[in-house]
Amino acid sequence: MSAMFPMCVRASRSLLRIRSETLAASGPQQLLDIIRTLSTEKNPAATGGATGGLAQAILQEKLQQQSQGQPPPEGERGEKDGEQAEDKKQKENTAYAKKMALRLAGLMGLGGAASLVYIFGTNSVDEQGNRIPDEFDQEPPVIQQLKRTYKYMKDYRQMIIEPTSPKLLPDPLKEPYYQPPYTLVLELTGVLLHPEWSLSTGWRFKKRPGIDYLFQQLAPLYEIIIFTTETGMTAFPLIDSIDPQGFVMYRLFRDATRYMEGHHVKDVSCLNRDTSKVIMVDCKRESFQLQPFNGLALTKWDGNSDDRALYDLANFLKTIALSGVDDVRGVLENYALEDDPIEAFKRRQAQLAQEEEHRLADLSQQKKQGLSLGSIATRFWRSKQQ
């Protein structure tokens, strides 16, 4: 019996070595399952019990090593090395693709720049195809191309920033023609029209209530001009639709504005009119920032059909014209800080009407008192004569 015990121990150790090598690649959950299986096995022999306890101890030690972050087996290391190599290769391919795309974009940019220099740097030609000489003909060929291209870009930028002409309107009419004493400059979008978009109809413009009344009331007193930041292609048919009777005398579009700090500014000094008689109506104060006291900033119309602002605007402008104001800037300056100048005008008009009513009431009361005193004095004089 004592001779068989060492043999059993050696056999159990060999068996455990084989099991541990076989289970080396197993995960923690698999090891736990194996421990539970070994612990529930029933061996009638004492050597079998000793072997199960030894196997359980070895497996627990194996699980503890894996949980403490010891190096994984050779098979797992091989798989991880393969994944890392694949990720590295993919990153290298992505970096190479980006580098090639940047090179291609640079080549295309250089090609485009060279094409622009060739197209815009060549001399202009006349109707017969003959080359027109210019001030750069004496320069070397490459310098000629570059200078002509630069001049073209500069002129194009100037065309966008500056108005198309320093005199946007013709000279005022002379007798026997009638020239209204004042000039009214109106914005189209937000003042007279409201843009609306729907999936079924696309963009449509809604006409603001009171446009016809405004034109009819002010046409004898004001030279009416539409000056809008819309393009001519968009605004021309819209003006035709809201002014079938032709009250609008002139039309100016985006190309007549001065582009400043991201805004299309309307320069009153380019209108070829007396600036003391020009009133500009817009919904953006930036539009008349060069001459702030020539402008009247209305609240932008939101498309409400019950809006009455144009009726009140007509009354306001009619009051200015009929009063014979020499310089409208003195009047508009009083409304420059108002959020809604039309409401402020109505409020002031109501206050003036109330003050005038009180003044007339006081005057009437004074007249009555004067009459009563006069009658008393007359009676006293008559009694004294008698």
pLDDT at 242 over 90: yes
- Per-residue pLDDT tens over the stretch 323-360: 999 999 999 999 988 888 999 988 888 888 888 888 88
**Quick one: tokens of 141?**
């060929």
186 in Cβ contact with 224 (< 8 Å): yes
Q: Which two tokens stand for residue 385?
A: 């004569």
Q: Are 155 and 226 within one domain?
A: no
Same domain, yes or no: 327 and 274: yes
Q: Which of 97-111, 153-167, 229-243 has the least mean pLDDT? A: 153-167
pLDDT, residue 144, reads 78
Residue 374: its pLDDT value, please? 57
CA atoms of 246 and 216, how far apart (whole Å): 11
Do 242 and 107 fall into the same domain?
no
Write down the H helix ranges in the chain.
4-22, 28-40, 46-67, 74-120, 141-161, 211-218, 232-242, 309-322, 328-332, 341-385
Q: In whole angstroms, what is the distance from residue 188 CA to residue 232 CA?
A: 12
Mean predicted confidence (pLDDT) in 102-110: 90
pLDDT at 383: 63
Are 301 and 336 in a shared domain?
Answer: yes
Q: How confident is the model at residue 186 (pLDDT cuts 50, 70, 90)?
A: very high
**The pLDDT of residue 42 is above 50:** no
pLDDT value at 202 more than 60? yes
DSSP character string of 150-204: HHHHHHHHHHHHS-S-S--SPPPP-TTS---SEEEEE-SBTTTEEEEEETTTEEE
**Which H/E stretch holds residue 206?**
strand 202-207
State the pLDDT at residue 67.
57
The residue-averaged pLDDT of 218-241 equals: 94
Task: State whether 205 and 332 are in the same domain.
Answer: yes
The count of other CB atoms within 10 Å of the CB of residue 225 is 20
How far, in Å, CA of 190 to CA of 186, rounded?
Answer: 10
CA neighbor of 57 nearest in space, from 49, 68, 45: 49
User: Is the overall model pTM greater than 0.75, yes or no?
Assistant: no
Query: What is the rounded average pLDDT of the residues 145-151?
Result: 81
| Of 131, 161, 191, the domain-final residue | 161
Mean pLDDT in residue range 256-276: 92
Range of 1-15, 72-86, 204-218, 358-372 with top mean pLDDT: 204-218
User: Could you tell me the CATH number of the domain that includes residue 210?
Assistant: 3.40.50.1000
State which of 59-73, 193-207, 269-283 shows the largest mean pLDDT. Answer: 269-283
The count of domains in the chain is: 2
Distance CA 149, CA 124 (A): 12
Does 305 or 27 have the greater pLDDT score? Answer: 305
- Counting beta carbons within 10 angstroms of the beta carbon of residue 241, is it exposed (0 to 12), middle (13 to 18) or buried (19 or more)? exposed
Kindly state the average pLDDT of the residues 127-138.
79
- Check whether 189 has a pLDDT greater than 50: yes
pLDDT of the residue at 76: 60
Q: Is 334 a member of any domain?
A: yes
Q: Are residues 225 and 333 in the same domain?
A: yes
**Residue 234 in domain:** yes
273 domain residue, yes or no: yes
pLDDT of 71 reads 57
Residues 124 and 199 in one domain: no
In a domain, 60, yes or no: no
Q: According to the model, what pLDDT value does residue 85 have?
A: 81
pLDDT attached to residue 182: 97
- pLDDT (0 to 100) of residue 45: 46
Q: Supply the DSSP string of 323-364, one letter for each residue.
A: TT-S-HHHHHGGGTT-SSHHHHHHHHHHHHHHHHHHHHHHHH
Residue 99 has pLDDT above 80, yes or no: yes
Domain encompassing residue 314: 182-346
Same domain, residue pair 149 and 288: no
Which of 228, 219, 226, 227 shows the shortest CA–CA distance to 181?
A: 219
Q: Which of 81, 31, 29, 95 is nearest to 57 (CA)?
A: 31
d(CA 209, CA 311) in angstroms, rounded, equals 8
Residue 152: its pLDDT value, please? 74
Pairing of strands 258-260, 263-265: antiparallel
Task: Give residue-wise pLDDT tens across range 302-312.
Answer: 999 999 999 99
* Tokens of residue 123, six digits: 């001399």
Let me know whether 189 and 330 are in one domain: yes
Question: Are both 231 and 302 inside the same structural domain?
Answer: yes
What residues form DSSP beta bridges with 125? 131
Q: Which residue has the tokens 């696309």?
A: 202
Rounded Cα distance, 69 and 90, in Å:
28
Name every residue whose Cβ is closer than 8 Å to that of residue 212 and which is 6 or more positions away in sequence. none
Q: Dump pLDDT digits (tens) for 64-84.
A: 655 555 555 566 666 777 788
Q: Report how far residue 126's alpha carbon sits from residue 106's, in angstroms, rounded to the nearest whole number.
A: 36
Q: Same domain, yes or no, for 137 and 213?
A: no
Distance CA 384, CA 324 (A): 56
Does residue 7 belong to any structural domain of this protein? no
What value does the mean pLDDT take over residues 196-208? 85
State phi, psi for 337 to the nearest 5 degrees.
-95, 0
Q: Within a domain: residue 380? A: no
Q: Is residue 56 part of a domain?
A: no
The DSSP 8-state label assigned to residue 69 in this structure reads: T
Q: What is the mean pLDDT of residues 368-384?
A: 60
Amino acid at 344: A
For residue 64, tell me if it sits in a domain: no
Is 209 found in the same domain as 301? yes
pLDDT of residue 47: 45
Question: Which tokens go with 48?
Answer: 């079998």
Average pLDDT of the chain is 80
Tell me: cis bond preceding 176? Omega within 30 of 0 counts: yes
